[in-house]
Chain A
Amino acid sequence: MLSAYLLYKDREFGKADSYQDSSGMVTDLGLKQLFENAAISKEARDRKSAQGAEQDEDIRRAMQRVMMTPLETAEEIEYRQSVLKDFLGNPEFAERFYGITRGLMEQWRKLGKKEREKGGNTNTSRTLLFEVRLMNLFLDALTDLKRLCRGYSKNFHSEGLQRFCDMLTQNYHDEWEEKVRLIMMDLRFFSNDEEVDVKHYYNKTTQGTILMECAPGSGLKLGQMKLEQIGTREVNIGRHTASKTMLDRVKVVLSKEPMTIITDEQTLDNLEQLKIAAVGRVFDYMQGFSLNCKKFFEMLLVQSAFYMGCMNLYERCRQIGLPICYPTVCKPEDMEFTNLMELSMALYNRRVPVGNDCEFKDKRLLVVTGANQGGKSTFLRSIGIAQVMLQSGMFVAAKRFSSGIFTHLFTHFVRREDMAMNSGRLDEELGRIHRIVEGLAPESMVLLNESFATTTEEEGSEIAYDIIKAFTEAGVKVLTVTHLLTFAKKVYAEGWEEAVFLSAQRLEDGTRTYKMVAGEPELTSFGLDLYEQVISVRE
C-alpha cells in the first residue's frame, strides 16, 4: 500500500482533532498573515510585489489545516521537526516533490475530479475512461516521485523521509510498475481513439482483442463470465500488415474455426458493450489500487504543501532577519524563551520587532499588567503563535523557546464584532468562556486578553477572580493580559504560589520599551501618559 506518513509516524493527517474554535484562534493570533506568507513562494514573491504576489491556495489551506491540528507528544513533534529539517536542507528536492504532487492534482482536477466526487455522471463508459486516464496520470506521477527520491534519499536524516523513499521503492518497485504499465497498454484500444503517425503519413488505429469464459446463465443469456485475455492490437490503415502487440502472457488454445464477422449495427453495439464490460472487469481489480492512489495523492498534497509552506515561511523570516529556532518540549508548568517575537506582526511590517525573554518554573498563571500601548497583547500573541507552531512541529521566531504541550489551547481575546456597542457584550464574552469550560481537557492552556473588560472594573475583577481561580486550581494554565487591577492586586496579595506577574515596562519619562518585566501590578495603566501625549499634540 502507498502511504505518505510525512506528518505523523504511524498515520496520515486528518484523524486527529483540531483546536476548538480554531477560526477564532486564527483571528485572535493573526495567523492569517502567516498562512498567506507561507502560500507565496520565493519565485512568486520575486516576480511581484508582496501584496500582489500569487498565493498558492493548496498551501494556504494545508497550513491552516495542519497548524490547527495539534501534535500530542514530544515524539510526534520531533518526528515532524526532523522531516521539516530535511525539506529545508534540500530546497530543490522540496520544490520538485511538491511540484509533482501539485502537477498531478491539477491534471486530476482538469480531468473532472469534482464531477466524479459528486458522482453526478454514472455513465459507465465515461467513468471508465476517466479512471483509465487517471490511472495513467497516477503511474507517471509515482514514477517521477520514485526517481526523485532515489536521487536524494542519501541526503535524508529524518525517519519520515527515509521511510517514504523506502516505501516507494518497495511498494512501487520497478518490476511491479512494469506489470501495471503493461496492463494499461492492453487497454489502449479503449482510451486512445486514433493516433496519427506523422512520420509515416498513415493512420494507426487500435483494436481490442478479448477472450472471455462464459456459460449459459439465467434464461440462456450470457452468464458466469470471466476475463481470460484482453489486449490491444495496432492496425495500420493504409498498409495491410497488422502488428500484434497483445501480450502473450496467457496461453490459450483456440479453435481453428473461422471467426464470424459482425456487420449489423445492433449486434456491433452489443459487442461494444461487451468490450466495455471487459475493461470494466480489469478495473474491478485495479479499483483498490486506484482508491489507494487517490487517497495517497490527496494526503500527499496536504503534507507536501505544508512543508512547502514552511519552507516559504522560513525563507521569508530569514529575509526579514528574524531569529529562528526549533522549539523544545518541557513540562506544562514551565515555560522559557529568549528573544521571542510576534511573527505575524513581523511578517506584516516586514521588520524585526522587539523580542522578549522569560523563564517560569512551576507556574500555572501568568498575569500581565502595565502600561497601555506597552506591547502586552503583542507579547501574549507571540506566545500563542509560538505555542501553535511548536505544536505543529514547526520552527518559531525566537532564539530559544521551550514550553509544554497543550492540545487544548484556547484564546479569549476581545473580538472585533464585540467592539460594536451592544448590551450583550458581557453575555457574548462569558458565552465564550462557557464554551471553553466545556472544551477543557488535560492539557489545557487559556490565553485571556483583556477579558471581562466589558463591565465595570469591580464586577469584571470579581468575575475574573472566580474564573481564573477555578481554572488554575483545577490545573489549567492561564496566561492573562488584564487591566483589571483590583483582580491582579488581589491575587498578588494572596500570594498564589503558581502565579507570576509581569508588567509592560515604562521608563520614568513615560517611554514604552515593549519589554515585559517582573513586578507587582500597579494601580494605573498609565493611560494618563497617552492622554497627555495625544492632548499635547493637539495643543
Chain B
Amino acid sequence: MAFVSILGTAKTEEIQGRKQPDFFVDLNLDQVINRVQKSSPDYPVKEYFYDFPAKEDVEYRQEIYSDIKKTFLYDGFMRFSADMRRAADKELSPTFSGEPLQGACWQLESVYFYCKAIVELRQELENGVAKQEITALGLKELLAFLDELCKEPTFAQMQKEAYRVWEMLSGTKFTLEINGNKIRISPLAQEGTYEDLLTECFQEYGVVEKGSMHSPFAGDLFLTRLERRLLQTFFTKYPALEAEIEGFAKEYKSYQNPQIQQLEKEVQFYLSFYTFQKEWEAQGAVFSTPELTEEGVAEGLEVYDLALACVNYPAEKEVVSNDFVYHQEESFFVVNGPNQGGKTTFARSLGQLVYFAKMGLDVNAKAAKLPYYDRLVTHFSVEESMESGQGKLMEELRRLAPIMNKGCEKAFVIINELFTTAAHYDGCIMGAKVLDYFMKRDCHGVYVTHLRALGEGTKGVVHMSAMLDGSDEHRRTFKILRSGAESSGYAGDIIGKYQLTYGELQERLKDYAAQKGGVSHA
C-alpha cells in the first residue's frame, strides 16, 4: 500500500474549519489540548485533536505513536520539522531583503534545508527499520515514499548543488578583531583559542558544547549595520563566493512537495502530544498505551483527570487516581456521594481515557484495556444558576434529544447530574429511562447523580460512591469506589473515625511489627 497520510490510511480532510467536539468542554479536554498546543508553538495542532480516526486507523496510529516515542525517532522528526521550518522561513522573495545577495542566500538556504530535512529523515527511518526499532506500517510506507522521492533526478541534482554551495559558504571562516571601537577582518588564525583555554580550566564543572556561541544579531532577519559593513569587506576578499550564490539562486527556485508539507504538519499531531506527555511525565504523571480488546470488558488502573493533574502537579497537590472495571454484563456506573467528592472528576477521567484511546494516543492511566466505542457522548449540566425551574429541565432535555436521536450503538456515555431540577420522583423515572436507552444499545457509561435509588436492581448497573477520608469527615479523599461495605465504613465515633481501635491498630502496624519482631501480651 502506498503512503497516504501519517494520520490514517485514507487521505485526511483539511483541518481548517473543523469544530471542537461537544464533549471537549465537558471533559476539560479543551484545557488539555490548549496545553498540547502550547508545547508545540510552531504549528497549529489543535484541530487534529477534533476528529476521531476511523476504527481501522486507531491501531495504525497507535503503532506510529509507539515508534515516535523512541528518542531517536522523536528527535529525528523534531529535526525534520525544524529544517522544514527553516526552509519555509527562507522561502521569502529575494527582493524582500534590501540586499539582493542576502535574498539569493535565503533561496539557497531554503532549498538546502528542505533537502536536508528529507534526506536525513529518510536516513533515520532506514536505520530504524534495519534495526527493527521501527515496526509501524505507516512509517514503513513513509520510508518507501521518501525513497522514491530521493531517487528522482531533479531532486538529487538540486540536493547535490545546494549542499555544495552551502558548505562552501559556511565553510569560509575568518577572524573578526575588535579593539575598542575599531574592527578588522583577518584570515582565520588557527592556533588554539580562548575557548580551549576555558574548556581546560572549567571542564570539571561541566562541558560547554563547542560552536554553541550565539550571535547577538541572530534574532534579526535582516543584516545589522555592523554586519553589512563586515560583509562588504568579506566579499572583497572572497569574490568567487558571491558568484556561486548568485548562480545557484538563478538555477534553482525553492520548491516543496505538497505531500512532504502535509507530512510536516500532520506529524505534529504525534510530536506535540508526546512533547506534552514527556513534560508531564517529568512532573509525575503516568501515561500508558491502552490495550484494544474485542471483549465486552473495559478496565483501567489508576486513571486520573489529566486536566486537573496539569493544575495540581505544579501546585504540588495530590493527583487522585481511581481504578475501574466493567466486567462482562456490566455496562453503567451510577455514581453518587457527597458534593465535591470527586464524582465529576472521576467521570471526566474516564471520558478522557476513552477519548485518547480513540485518538490512537497514550491514555491518562497506569494501564487500560478498552473495546472500540463508536462514539463518545457527554451530557453535563450547565451552570446551575443560569436558568431555573422548568426552564432548566427543558434546556437539559433539549440538549439530550439530539444525543439520543443520533443513534448511540456502542457508545461511551457520560451523564453528569441530569434532571437535578425535576421533582425527585420524576427524576428517578426519567433517569431510569435514559439509562435503559443506552444500556439497550450496548453502551458503557458513567452516570453521576444525586438520586441514590437510580438504577437500583437493574442488571448491568454498578453503583459507585465518593469516599470520605476516614480521618476527617470534612476532608474528601476524592476516591470513587464500588458501593457496599466500603461506603458505610466511616462511623461517627471518633476512635472508629481515626481507625484507632486495638484491632485496627494491629492491622495498621503489621508492617512495623514484621520489621521489628514485636512482642505479645497474650
Residues of B within 8 A of A222 (CB): 176, 215, 217, 227, 230
Across the interface, A215 reaches (CB within 8 A) one of B171, B231, B495, B510, namely B171
CB contacts (< 8 Å) of A228 on chain B: these are 175, 189, 193-195
The interface bits of chain A over 223-243 (1 if a CB of B lies within 8 angstroms of the residue's CB, else 0) are 111111110010100000000
Q: Is B406 an interface residue (CB 8 A)?
A: no
* Residues A15-53 near B (CB distance < 8 A): none
Partner of B180, one of A207, A258, A472: A207
The answer to whether A274 touches B472, judged by C-beta atoms less than 8 angstroms apart, is no
Question: How far apart sit A426 and B224, CA to CA, in the bound complex (Å)?
Answer: 76
For window 360-388 of chain A, which residues contact chain B by CB distance below 8 Å?
A: 364
User: How many angstroms between the C-alpha atoms of A435 and B469 in the bound complex?
Assistant: 13
Q: Using A426-B494, A430-B495 as known contacts, say yes or no to A284 and B221 having CB atoms under 8 A apart.
A: no
Name the one of B86, B192, B512 contacting A476, with C-beta atoms under 8 angstroms. Answer: B512
Q: Contacts A250-B193, A266-B225 hold; do A183 and B201 have CB atoms under 8 A apart?
A: yes
Q: Are B201 and A276 in contact (CB under 8 A)?
A: no
Tell me, yes or no, whether B23 is within 8 Å of chain A by CB.
Answer: no
CB contacts under 8 Å to B, within A467-510, are: 467, 469-476, 494, 496-498
Please encode chain A, from 265 to 278, with 1 for each CB lying within 8 Å of some chain B CB and 0 for all others.
01110110111111
Q: Across the interface, which residues of B come within 8 angstroms of A216, CB to CB?
A: 105, 169-170, 172, 231, 234
For B188, B194, B225, B229, the residue with the greatest tally of chain A CB atoms inside 10 Å of its CB is B194
B97 nearest CB neighbor, chain A only: A219
Minimum distance in angstroms from B49 CB to a CB of chain A: 33
**Contact partners of A137 in chain B: CB under 8 A:** none
Query: Is A1 in contact with B205, judged by CB distance below 8 angstroms?
Result: yes
Please, which residues of chain B bring their CB within 8 A of the CB of A291? 205
Residue in contact with A475 in the complex, picked from B221, B502, B512, CB distance below 8 Å: B512
Number of A residues near B (Cβ < 8 Å) is 95
Instruction: Pick from B178, B182, B221 the residue with the most CB of A within 10 Å.
Output: B178
With A250-B194, A437-B509, A442-B516 as contacts: A208 and B502 at CB distance below 8 Å:
no
A369 and B341 alpha carbons, distance in the complex (Å): 45
Partner of A221, one of B199, B217, B472: B217
Select the residue from B172, B210, B512 with max chain A CB neighbours within 10 A: B512
Contact across chains for A274 and B494 when beta carbons are under 8 A apart: no
B178 near A285: Cβ-Cβ < 8 Å: no
Q: Which A-chain residue is minimally distant from B506 (CB atoms)?
A: A470
Chain B residues with Cβ under 8 A from A260's Cβ?
A: 182-184, 229, 233
B500 touches A474 (CB 8 A): no
- Whether B178 pairs with A433 at a CB distance below 8 angstroms is no
Shortest distance in angstroms between A496's beta carbon and chain B's nearest beta carbon? 6
User: Of residues 210 to 244 in B, which have CB atoms within 8 Å of A's CB atoms?
Assistant: 210-218, 220-227, 229-231, 233-234
A427 within 8 A of B: yes
CB distance from B189 to the nearest CB of A (A): 4
Q: Is A180 an interface residue (CB 8 A)?
A: yes
B348 contacts A by Cβ under 8 Å:
no
Q: B102: CB under 8 A from chain A?
A: yes
- Nearest CB in chain A: distance from B515 CB, A: 5
Please give, as numbers and ranges, the residues of chain A lying within 8 Å of B172 by CB-CB distance.
Answer: 215-216
List residues of A (282-307) whose CB comes within 8 Å of B's CBs. Answer: 282, 284-289, 291-292
For residue B202, CB closer than 8 A to chain A, the reply is yes
Does A215 contact B174, Cβ atoms closer than 8 Å?
yes
CA distance A262 to B180 in the complex (A): 9
Partner of B170, one of A223, A226, A433: A223
B508 touching A437, Cβ below 8 Å: yes
Q: What's the nearest-Cβ distance from chain A to residue B156, in Å?
A: 24
Task: Check if B519 is an interface residue, CB within 8 A of chain A.
Answer: yes
Chain B, residues 76-108, CB within 8 Å of chain A (1/0): the string is 000000000010001000000101011001100
Nearest CB of A to B384, in Å: 33
B401 sits at the interface (CB 8 A): no
Hey, which chain A residues are within 8 Å of B520, CB to CB? 473
* Contact B500 A475, beta carbon cutoff 8 Å: no
In angstroms, how far is the closest chain A Cβ from the Cβ of B473? 10
Contact A219 to B221, CB < 8 A, known contacts A277-B215, A285-B201, A474-B516? yes
Contact assessment for A220 and B186 in the assembled complex, using a CB-CB cutoff below 8 Å:
no
Q: Given A214-B174, A259-B179, A474-B513 in contact, is the A226-B226 Cβ separation under 8 Å?
A: no
Residues from chain B with Cβ under 8 Å of A444 in the complex: 512
A359 on interface, CB distance cutoff 8 Å: no
Say whether B212 contacts A284, CB under 8 Å: yes
Of residues 229 through 272 on chain B, the ones whose CB sits less than 8 Å from some CB of chain A are 229-231, 233-234
Name the distance in Å between B249's Cβ and chain A's nearest Cβ: 12
Other-chain contact of B505, A219, A254, A284, A437 (Cβ < 8 Å)? A437
Query: Are B498 and A270 neighbours in the complex by a CB distance under 8 Å?
Result: no
The distance in angstroms between the C-alpha atoms of A490 and B175, with both chains bound, is: 92
Closest Cβ–Cβ distance, residue B88 to chain A (whole Å): 13
- How far is the CB of A350 from the nearest CB of chain B, in Å? 42
Which B83-140 residues sit within 8 Å CB-CB of chain A? 86, 90, 97, 99, 101-102, 105-106, 109
CB-based contact A270/B234 at 8 Å:
no
- The reply to whether A434 and B499 form a contact with Cβ atoms under 8 Å apart is yes
Q: Is A456 an interface residue (CB 8 A)?
A: no
Chain A: CB-nearest residue to B215:
A222
B191: interface (CB < 8 Å): yes
A123 sits at the interface (CB 8 A): no
B471 contacts A by Cβ under 8 Å = yes
Residue numbers in B under 8 Å from A538 (CB-CB): none
Whether A209 contacts B498 by the Cβ 8 Å rule is no
Q: Any chain B CB within 8 A of the CB of A535?
A: no
CA distance A292 to B513 in the complex (A): 44
A225 to B197, CA, bound (A): 16
Question: Across the interface, which residues of B come within 8 angstroms of A254, CB to CB?
Answer: 175, 177, 184, 186, 189
Contact across chains for B202 and A210 when beta carbons are under 8 A apart: no
Is B198 an interface position by the 8 A CB rule?
yes
Instruction: Say how far B236's CB is from chain A's closest CB, in angstroms.
Output: 11
Query: A210–B175 Cα gap in the complex (Å)?
Result: 10
Nearest Cβ on chain A to B258's Cβ, whole angstroms: 25
User: A265 — nearest CB in chain B belongs to which residue?
Assistant: B225
* Candidate in A251, A434, A474 with the most chain B CB atoms within 10 angstroms: A474
Report if A213-B509 is in contact (Cβ < 8 Å); known contacts: A221-B217, A268-B181, A430-B495.
Answer: no
B153 on the A face (CB < 8 A): no
Per-position binary interface string of chain B over residues 465-495, scored 1 when its CB falls under 8 Å from any chain A CB and 0 otherwise: 0000001100000000000000000000011
* A500–B134 alpha-carbon span in the complex (Å): 70
Inter-chain contact B214/A277, CB cutoff 8 Å = yes
Is A255 at the interface (CB under 8 A from chain B)? yes
A217 within 8 A of B: yes
Q: Is the CB of A219 within 8 A of B184?
A: no
Establish whether residues B223 and A221, one from each chain, have CB atoms under 8 Å apart when the complex forms: yes
Distance in angstroms between the alpha carbons of A271 and B183 in the assembled complex: 9
Contact between chains at A223 and B183 (CB < 8 Å):
no
A441, closest chain B residue (CB): B512
In the complex, whether B17 has a CB less than 8 A from a CB of chain A is no
Least CB distance, A468 to chain B, in whole angstroms: 10
Whole-angstrom distance between the alpha carbons of A459 and B170 in the complex? 87
Please state if B205 and A288 are interface contacts (CB–CB under 8 Å).
yes
Task: Indicate if the CB atoms of B178 and A274 lie closer than 8 Å.
Answer: yes
Interface residue from B197, B206, B218 paired with A249 (Cβ < 8 Å)? B197
Are A180 and B201 in touch, CB under 8 angstroms?
A: yes
Report if B314 contacts A (CB, 8 A).
no
Per the bound structure, the CA–CA distance linking A235 and B230 in Å amounts to: 26
A534 on interface, CB distance cutoff 8 Å: no
12 contacts between A and B (CB under 8 A): A207-B180, A216-B105, A222-B215, A225-B213, A250-B193, A262-B183, A274-B226, A284-B212, A430-B495, A463-B500, A474-B516, A496-B521
User: Could you list which residues of chain A lie within 8 angstroms of chain B, going by C-beta atoms?
Assistant: 1, 176, 179-180, 183, 207-230, 233, 235, 249-255, 257-264, 266-268, 270-271, 273-278, 281-282, 284-289, 291-292, 364, 426-427, 430-431, 433-435, 437, 440-442, 444, 463, 466-467, 469-476, 494, 496-498
Listed from nearest, the 5 A-B pairs whose CB atoms lie closest are A475-B516, A288-B206, A288-B205, A270-B226, A470-B505
Known: A262-B181, A271-B181, A288-B202. 8 other contacts (CB 8 A): A208-B178, A211-B178, A221-B227, A229-B193, A230-B194, A253-B189, A259-B179, A426-B494
